[in-house]
Amino acid sequence: MANTKEIVKRRKSVRNTRKITKTMEMVSTAKLAKAQNAALAARPYADKLREVIGDLAALSEDIRHPLLERHDPVKKAVVIVMTADRGLCGGFNGNILREANSVIQKLKDRGVEFELIVQGKKGRGAFRYLGIPIAKEYLMVSDKPDYARAESIADELIARFGRKEIDEAYVVYSTFKSMVSQKPRTDMILPLSGLQSGGKKEAKAEGMGYLFHPDPKTILTEVLPLVVRMSIFTAMLDNCAGEHAARRLAMKNATDAADDMIKMLTRQYNRARQSKITQEIAEIVGGANAL
Amino acid sequence: MADKTLHVVVITPARAVFEDQAVSVVVPAFDGELGVLPGHAALMSLLGPGGLRLTQANGAKLSLAVRGGFLQVHGSKVTVLTPEAVPVEDLDAGAVNKELAEAEGQKAVSDAEIKLRDQKLAWARARRKLLEANAGTHRN
């Protein structure tokens, strides 16, 4: 049995670690609440945007927009990978990177060239290690989703898509499903899909008798890029909430494990102490008997 | 049936900036100002950078700088979607002037660059105009 002094030392070190993980857990809880609020606050905009586009699409019987057009053949794709800037958040970064690698593999299988845009230090580290070149990186911003940044990324992609320099764009990020589950996810952001003219919304739109200023087509042209911007922005928001949820969980597990370890070490310490005393008494008794 | 007030919502991707009843709204459409009063026909319009003014039921007036986006009027509901909306009082004159100078000095060669610069210019100019108008009302 280890001697008591060593056990005490170990217990102290575990206690210190627990202090850190506990603090990190609390910090993540607070940040998570903030991130969740931000994600929630973005919802009305996204919902309204979808509604308006649905109405517009229903009204213009033939929607043709460069952003909706599939490029054939697909030669080049852009993959935006969002990870966290810091670790200590369980499998969060690993899961996203695994998803990103499978996306990249699929593109390679199709013989498509790809370009990476990375947000988050962890992503950069991983791709550097793998020797995959990164076209553009955004660091130390993973917990500050910013619409202006989403806008600049989106606008560049849209411009290049319009010039046919790129044919597809994906964003790989982590969704915030619940406090305990964050699933990595890949969304195709260019070309835009899921927009059909006519369809079930027609009746609703016709009944409204909208005036358009200017015509619906022009409005649609102006509004569609907003969808691309918004999907990048929501990915940022989700990713941020996911990161904090993952870290909170990881730190909670670490704190619990530290608790268990302290309990175990205390028990070991008591046992060691007891056996030491017993042994000492036995020695004294033995000594007395010998006299 | 026409309601006496409008329910106005101004939303940006980050948050809902304003949500309340109003008796009138003037929005910066892409080609000039456009007023909306209760009973307005259903309308969808593109907006340009400029000032959005609204008068609330109690007579309070509010002025916001909005960076484009679009407007939807449906029944008594007025929805403004815009990437950015800032109350005029919160505008920072120094920052706006700096942005304006930056945009004016920016070199733009390709069509896309020119478009981007023009957007920046228009947004900075719109805000400066609002700031000047706001300063004017305070002096009187």
- Tokens linked to A248: 């909170």
Cα torsion A218, A221, A224, A228: sign: negative
Instruction: Tell me whether residues B16 and A159 touch, CB distance under 8 A.
Output: no
**Which residue among B14, B34, B43 sits closest to A42, beta carbon to beta carbon?**
B14
Domain residue limits, chain B: 6-88, 91-139
Question: Scanning every residue of chain A, which has its alpha carbon at the shortest distance from the alpha carbon of B15?
Answer: A41
**Which residue among B15, B45, B112 sits closest to A41, beta carbon to beta carbon?**
B15
Testing the interface with B: which of A48, A53, A59, A160 to mutate, by most B Cβ within 10 A? A48
Q: Is A138 helix (H, G, I), strand (E, B) or coil?
A: strand
Q: What is the pLDDT of residue A70?
A: 83
Q: Which residues in chain B have Cβ-Cβ distances shorter than 8 Å to A155?
A: 116
By the CB < 8 Å criterion, does B76 face chain A? no
Instruction: Tell me whether residues A45 and B45 touch, CB distance under 8 A.
Output: no
Instruction: Tell me whether residues B11 and A222 touch, CB distance under 8 A.
Output: no
CATH of domain A31-247: 3.40.1380.10
What are the per-10-residue average pLDDT scores of chain A (291 residues)? 82 95 94 91 88 77 75 88 90 92 92 90 92 89 85 89 89 86 87 59 54 82 87 91 92 95 94 92 91 78
Q: What is the pLDDT of residue A107?
A: 92
pTM of the entire structure?
A: 0.85
Query: Domain A4-28+249-285 falls in which CATH fold?
Result: Helix Hairpins (1.10.287)
Instruction: Tell me whether residues A45 and B12 touch, CB distance under 8 A.
Output: yes
Q: Which residues in chain A have Cβ-Cβ distances shorter than 8 Å to B95?
A: none
Query: Domain B6-88 falls in which CATH fold?
Result: ATP Synthase; domain 1 (2.60.15)
pLDDT digits over B83-101, tens only?
888 888 888 888 888 888 8
Q: Give the residue ranges of DSSP H helices in chain A.
A: 4-41, 43-59, 92-109, 121-130, 147-162, 202-208, 216-290
Q: What is the pLDDT of residue A146?
A: 86
Alpha carbon distance A166, A90 (integer Å): 34
Q: Is A252 helix (H, G, I), strand (E, B) or coil?
A: helix
Q: What is the pLDDT of residue A195?
A: 59
Alpha carbon distance A70, A68 (integer Å): 7
Q: Which residues in chain B have Cβ-Cβ distances shorter than 8 Å to A223?
A: 70
Alpha carbon distance A93, B19 (integer Å): 38
The DSSP annotation for B28-55 comes to EETTEEEEE-TTPPPEEEEEEEEEEEEE
- Does the interface predicted TM-score (ipTM) exceed 0.85? no
CA distances from B35 to A263, B39, B46, B51, B55 (A): 71, 12, 13, 12, 11
On whether the CB atoms of residues A224 and A103 are closer than 8 A, the answer is: no
- Tokens linked to B2: 């026409």
Q: Which residues in chain B have Cβ-Cβ distances shorter than 8 Å to A49?
A: 81
On whether the CB atoms of residues A161 and A155 are closer than 8 A, the answer is: no
pLDDT digits over B54-86, tens only?
998 888 888 999 998 889 998 889 999 998 888
Testing the interface with B: which of A34, A36, A45 to mutate, by most B Cβ within 10 A? A45
Domain residue limits, chain A: 4-28+249-285, 31-247
**Which residue among A48, A218, A223 sits closest to B79, beta carbon to beta carbon?**
A48
How does residue B140 score in pLDDT terms, banded at 50, 70 and 90? very low
Whether A89 is catalytic is yes
Straight-line distance from the first to the last Cα atom of chain A, in angstroms, rounded to the nearest whole number: 31
